Amino acid sequence: MARPIRVGIVGCGTVGTAVVEILLTQKERIREKAEVEIEISKVAARNWSKKRFFEVPENLRTTDWKEVVESSDIVVELIGGVDIAKDVVVESLKRAKPVITANKHLLAEYGREIASLMKKFKTFLFFEGAVGGGIPIVKVLKETLVSNQISEILGILNGTTNYILTKMEEENIPFNVALEEAQKKGYAEANPTFDVEGVDAAHKIAILANLAFGGFVKFSEIFVEGITNVDLLDIKLGKELGYRLKLLAIAKKRNGGEVEVRVHPTFIPFENPLSNVDGVFNGILFKSNYLGELKLQGAGAGAYPTATAVVQDIIQAAKQLTCCGKIFDITALGWNDKSLKVAKDFYSRYYLRFDVEDKPGVLYQIAKILAEEGISIAGVLQQEWILKFLPKPSKVIPLIILTHKAYESKLKRALEKLENLSFIKEKPTLIRVEEEKY
């Protein structure tokens, strides 16, 4: 067997500790199965007096990430964020050292810069753990689907928000209560902003859109709406209408070459393969020309699932170093240095809830304004069964309108006009519906 490959790990928290544990305890298995010898050179953390769930041997510990880079053939970045993590990645690539990372934030914001460094210094960076934790999403995109044209990716890519939405529906509780429960169980961080505001899912769909469509989207151009304003009433009404509410990350290629990349609460029909992806699980649906629909589902985060993906990347990189030398990882679905134009307007079906005074003529006036903007109504609900969802008898009742597909810019114009009508008592609720047949 060739010489051992020295792997250095920067960051020994949730994922880093699990990576160290797997590499040390499964060394023989990896040698036997993958025919590669991996040795940990150094592991960096800030404060080694902290208790970790796996004890890192003292001779491997350091607090200096530069020492890790210096002493390793492959550098694993697992500190997160875009500050020091970026320095670690840039420095390693400049020294032509392959990098493994699970850092979606860094890749979504600086993917283009990082890809150009890979090219310039003829090295590579693998990042399976960055999207979907232990689910091999990147591998499927780069390898399985290499011969296919991908038209659409729909993903439930954030376990925290999926857990919260599932709990709201199952236990009939509002967002705040479900969030508290998620925090108690360790599924949401003390500061959950990145998760609940949809930013984490947006980082991931940006990475996937870049890979699938061969270029780079500007992260700031992605439309992102989180779940903090989701009302339990809409989850319940949606369910009655045959939909489940998910925080969906969507990437679509349009005929003209523009791409739609967006994250928002979305109604999907029960028959959508993602509708039963519940709790902390992640799920993804690829649509491509030859394979058709492909769904993957599994543990989208957590120490061991993510570490499994990181270790697989380490093995692949180690094999590449031992067998083929340093090559730039580029496939037909690799990163091309071109800009992807992000569509500013979407074409979708919509669920609208108007809280209106219960009096004649209301529906007529709403329908008139929608029609002025070319929005066609597919269904209207203001039936007695809706009243059973209201906490107490009220003079203001929900009127639900489902539209046919329309451009969102037109819908927003109509909603601006509607907000001024005196019988509409609250800002209307708009939820996008992802449903092919409409």
Hey, CA dihedral for 181, 187, 191, 193, is it positive or negative?
Answer: negative
Task: Find the shortest distance in angstroms from Cβ 288 to ligand NAP.
Answer: 25
* CA-to-CA dists, residue 228 to 14, 192, 269, 278, angstroms: 26, 11, 22, 18
Partners of residue 38 on adjacent β-strands: 5
Alpha helices in 131-264 (DSSP H): 137-139, 159-171, 175-184, 193-196, 199-213, 232-240
Write down the least CB distance from residue 45 to ligand NAP, Å: 4
CA distance 357 to 359: 6
- Residue 44 C-beta: closest distance to ligand NAP, Å: 4
Taking the C-alpha atoms of residue 175 and residue 278, their distance in angstroms, rounded to an integer, is: 16
Alpha helices in 78-120 (DSSP H): 84-94, 104-120
Distance CA 277, CA 166 (A): 9
Residues that bind ligand NAP (CB under 6 A): 10-16, 44-47, 50, 65, 78-80, 84, 102-104, 129, 133, 301-302, 306
Tell me how far apart the alpha carbons of residues 144 and 166 are, in angstroms, rounded to a whole number: 31
Q: Is 185 a catalytic residue?
A: no
Burial class (CB in 10 A: 0-12, 13-18, 19+), 258: middle
For the bound state, the minimum distance from the C-beta of residue 208 to ligand NAP, rounded and expressed in Å, comes to 14
* Length of the chain counted residue by residue: 438
Contact 370, 354 (CB under 8 A): no
CA dist., res. 227 & res. 168, Å (int): 11
Are 274 and 154 in contact by the 8 Å Cβ rule? The answer is: yes
Q: Which residues contact 359 (CB under 8 A, 6 or more apart)?
A: 423
Question: What single string gives the DSSP state of each residue in 266-321?
Answer: EEEETTSTTTT--TTEEEEEEEETTTEEEEEEEE-SSHHHHHHHHHHHHHHHHHHH
Distance CA 88, CA 76 (A): 9
Residue type, 436: E
The catalytic residues are 204
